[in-house]
Amino acid sequence: MPTPERTSLDAIVGAGRAILEADGLGGLTMQAVAERVGVRAPSLYKRVRNRSELVRLIAVASIAELGDRLDDAPLARGADDRDAAVAEAARLAQVVRAFAHDRPAAYRLVFSPGDESGLDVEVLREASAPLLAVAAELAGSGHALDAARTLTAWVTGFISMELAGAFRLGGDVDRAFEFGIERISVALASAAR
C-alpha cells in the first residue's frame, strides 16, 4: 500500500466524493475511503482530522464545483435588462439542476437542512456570487439577498421533489421547471419596478 505521503488530500476528497455518490452519506466511512485510495484507515488521519472534517471537505469541493459550473456557463442574452436577468436566472437554475442530477448525494449534502456539511459563510458567498448578481438585477440591490433566497428555495424544493420521484402526475417535468423559474423571476423583476 502507498505511504501516506503518496496519498494526497485531493485523492482522499475525490475518493470520498465517489463513495458519497455510490453509497450515500451512511456509506462514507474512513475505512471505505482508505480502501479506495489504497492505504490503511489510520493513515488518513495524517491528512484528515476525522469523518466530520472529511464530510466538510467533500461539501467544500462540491460547492466549489457548483460555483465553477455557475461561473463557466455561457451568459444568457435578452431583449432588455429585465429579459436578460430573467433568462440569466433560468440559466443558473438549470446549472444547479444539472449539478443535482450529476451529483445527487453531494447536492443533498450541500442543500439539506442542518449543518452536517460544515460549510462556512465565505465558501457559500463565493459560490453564490452569480445568483446574488442576477437577483440584484431582478429585484434591485436592496432586495438581492431576499430574491436570491426566494429563487434558491424554489429551485431547491423543485429539485428535491424531482430527485425523490415526487412528481407522479405525469406531464413534462422539464417544462414545469422552466415555467416555474421564469414566473418567479418575472415576479421578482416586476416587484422591483
Per-run averaged pLDDT (10 residues), the chain, 193 residues:
69 96 94 94 90 93 92 62 86 95 94 68 82 89 92 94 93 95 92 64
Domains and CATH numbers, the chain: 4-48 (1.10.10), 62-191 (1.10.357.10)
What span, in angstroms and rounded, lies between the C-alpha atoms of 40 and 113? 33
Q: What angle do CA 127, 146, 130 make, to 5 degrees?
A: 25
The reply to whether the predicted model has a pTM over 0.85 is yes
Q: Can you tell me which residue has the cell 437554475?
A: 93
What span, in angstroms and rounded, lies between the C-alpha atoms of 72 and 114? 29
User: What pLDDT, on a 0 to 100 scale, did the predictor assign at position 79?
Assistant: 46
Environment class of 184 (CB within 10 Å of its CB; exposed 0-12, middle 13-18, buried 19+): buried
Q: Can you tell me which residue has the cell 450515500?
A: 24
